[in-house]
Structure 1
Amino acid sequence: MESLLLVTGASGQLGQAVLQHLTSTLDIPANRIVAASRQPERLASWAAKGVQVRELDFEKPASFAAALSGIERALLISTDTLDRPGQRLQQHQNAVTGFATAGVQHVVYTSAPHPEGAPLLIAPDHLGTEEALAASELPGWTVLRNHWYFENLAMSIPAAIASGQWYSADEGQGSADIARDDLALAAAVALAGTETGKKTWTLSGPESLTKQQIAAAIAGVVNKPITVVQVPLESLVQGMMAAGLPEPLARIFASFDANTAAGRVAAVTTDFKQLTGREPQRFHHWLENHRGLFTGER
């Protein structure tokens, strides 16, 4: 029997896209793929296609043995406990230990760019997970240091369109963002590949853009002006809290701007092309295909 490939967090948006690339882009037989989630019932459509569906909860080590049976390569998609950074690291450490105990041969992990000493408040989770991989008895691992999704703009741009102002504390610095679907492809390629050993890729988009450039492009699509307004970091936090965001989340989201201001996500790499053989999508192409996120069009 061919080796089994595991996708954790398979019911999430990135996990779903990875499954799509495994089955459609890479033509991996469905019976070689294991889709795991804390909520396996959300994966019924994949089970109907022949993908194995298993329950896996990183806070319940008792679930590991059955979930990891027969797995040779695994994709560890970082969990979504944004408001509990320490808990996320514990989940990831549990997962790494579980993979090693189960005899998994290679683990692919979705990390963040340059997490060492970063002002990004979730960076310690990613760095700690990378350190756990390095200290583990796993024969091999691949770290994908993923730049931010273009899709994250959907969280802030609608309010900016409505008010005409996009508040930022990134000091006008650029960010080499990338499409989530491109990152899903990279994860699928790394998971389904034959690479052994230990490797780190930094996956950026093809260009570093400032919020001013992004705002101008989106304004052209929605036919409304958007002005980027630079504010102090603490003012950005307070503004998010005034809009109803809990303080811990407001500080985490604001730290993305602090990270950009520090120049930690501006570098453009060629790692995506080296890994996948393709060029990542440029922002204006992605925007044309996803204009409905901002215009309300279907």
Structure 2
Amino acid sequence: MTIVVTGATGHLGRLTVDALLDRGVPASDIRALGRSAERLAPLAERGVQTAVIDFEKPETLDTAFAGADALLLVSGSEVGQRIPQHRNAIDAAVRAGVGRLVYTSAPHADDTDLILAPEHAETERLLANSGLPVTVLRNNWYTENYVGQVDAAAATGELVGSAADGRVASASRKDYAEAAAVVLTTDGHDGAVYELAGDVAWTFDDLAAAVGELLGTPVVYRSVTPEEHGSALREAGLDEGTAGFVVALDGNIRDGALADAPGTLAELIGRPTTPLAAGLAEARAAAESPAA
């Protein structure tokens, strides 16, 4: 059996390879794909097959996907370019006769105002029309996305945002990676759409408390209007587009787009998801590690 993992030089893809190995999949049965041979080298040293690909160069995908019994398509990181890149990957999977394809999507991708959802919804449509057996993993937010807030709070003693009392059901990347490994190595998932999230939907007051616990000093959440938030972000050096994206995302959170915590992720991985404080601590330690 050959399991192919795209994005293996990124966090989620690499963690999925680790999870597959932990589940007893022989390294020689795993093919890790990414854009950097140098960053793939540590996996090759562990006996994992590797190949350099580029979603914008379809000719690199055919050989890399050949013989795949299962393929994890980790969504591309380039917002605005995902649809053509994913289309190339799906077309290549069809040409290669991939046994089944697993895709990492966004929460409620086909029925949400989440700013990141449209590209995922279109990718899901392309997958539905591909004729391939497909499983969709609609991953909620990653706890690691908030590690930057720790450093900001260390300097100011506060977190600033316009999410009001909105909630985020985040989980650690390793939780989502374990779920992907489960789906890739077990039967009964064809056609499934899994809404995956952490067990607890936390508020930004909760996030401030967790950051304060990590830092050993009180941290508060200062809720501001979207206009005030955008102004503060621009003053901090963010360009207009990035500041607008952050404010829009906080608006999505305020409206409940990331609050759903159905428990499916914990069911798949057979354990509770990583708590917010623990996830932040692990992510910060990893970021500070020389090997990170």
TM-score, reference length from structure 2: 0.92
- Offset of residue 218 of structure 1: 1.8
Question: Is residue 150 from structure 1 mapped to residue 143 from structure 2 by the alignment?
Answer: yes
Q: Residue 195 of structure 1 aligns with which residue? A: 188
Question: Is residue 8 from structure 1 mapped to residue 6 from structure 2 by the alignment?
Answer: yes
Could you tell me whether the CA contact under 8 Å between 1:150 and 1:180 is conserved in 2?
A: yes
Task: For 1:89-128, list aligned pairs within 5 A.
Answer: 89-116=83-110, 118-128=112-122
Q: Structure 2 vs 1, CA of residues 36 and 116 (structure 1 numbering), >3 Å: closer, same or farther? A: same
- Once the two structures are overlaid, the 10-residue window that deviates more, 165-174 or 284-293, is 284-293
Q: Residue 48 of structure 2 aligns with which residue? A: 51
Could you tell me whether the CA contact under 8 Å between 1:176 and 1:208 is conserved in 2?
A: yes
Could you tell me whether the CA contact under 8 Å between 2:143 and 2:172 is conserved in 1?
A: yes
List alignment gaps of at least 5 residues for structure 2: none
Could you tell me whether the CA contact under 8 Å between 2:113 and 2:257 is conserved in 1?
A: no
Could you tell me whether the CA contact under 8 Å between 1:171 and 1:261 is conserved in 2?
A: yes
CA distance in structure 1 between the aligned counterparts of 2:27 and 2:13, rounded to whole angstroms:
15
Q: Residue 123 of structure 2 aligns with which residue? A: 129
CA distance in structure 2 between the aligned counterparts of 1:293 and 1:155, rounded to whole angstroms:
13
Question: Residue 163 of structure 2 aligns to a residue in which SS?
Answer: coil
CA distance in structure 2 between the aligned counterparts of 1:93 and 1:188, rounded to whole angstroms:
23
Q: Residue 41 of structure 1 aligns with which residue? A: 38
CA distance in structure 2 between the aligned counterparts of 1:119 and 1:197, rounded to whole angstroms:
27
Percent identity between matched residues is 35
TM-score, reference length from structure 1: 0.90
Amino acid at match of 1:59: E
- Offset of residue 173 of structure 1: 1.4
Could you tell me whether the CA contact under 8 Å between 2:199 and 2:261 is conserved in 1?
A: yes
Could you tell me whether the CA contact under 8 Å between 1:122 and 1:252 is conserved in 2?
A: no
- Once the two structures are overlaid, the 10-residue window that deviates more, 166-175 or 218-227, is 218-227
CA distance in structure 2 between the aligned counterparts of 1:292 and 1:68, rounded to whole angstroms:
35
Could you tell me whether the CA contact under 8 Å between 1:273 and 1:279 is conserved in 2?
A: yes
- Offset of residue 171 of structure 1: 1.7
Q: Deviations over 1:204-242 (max 9, x none)?
A: 111111010121122133132222121222332332232
Task: For 1:201-220, list aligned pairs within 5 A.
Answer: 201-220=194-213
Could you tell me whether the CA contact under 8 Å between 2:113 and 2:252 is conserved in 1?
A: yes
Could you tell me whether the CA contact under 8 Å between 2:2 and 2:69 is conserved in 1?
A: yes
Q: Residue 141 of structure 1 aligns with which residue? A: 134
Amino acid at match of 1:180: R
CA distance in structure 2 between the aligned counterparts of 1:211 and 1:171, rounded to whole angstroms:
8
- Offset of residue 297 of structure 1: 9.4
Question: Residue 176 of structure 1 aligns to a residue in which SS?
Answer: coil
Question: Is residue 177 from structure 1 mapped to residue 170 from structure 2 by the alignment?
Answer: yes
- Once the two structures are overlaid, the 10-residue window that deviates more, 153-162 or 95-104, is 153-162
Question: Residue 35 of structure 1 aligns to a residue in which SS?
Answer: strand
CA distance in structure 2 between the aligned counterparts of 1:279 and 1:220, rounded to whole angstroms:
21
Q: Deviations over 1:185-221 (max 9, x none)?
A: 1111112223352111111111111010121122133
RMSD: 2.0
Q: Residue 238 of structure 1 aligns with which residue? A: 231
- Offset of residue 69 of structure 1: 1.3
List alignment gaps of at least 5 residues for structure 1: none
Amino acid at match of 1:267: D
Q: Deviations over 1:102-133 (max 9, x none)?
A: 11121111111122353332211111111111
Q: 1:282 aligns with which of 251, 255, 275?
A: 275
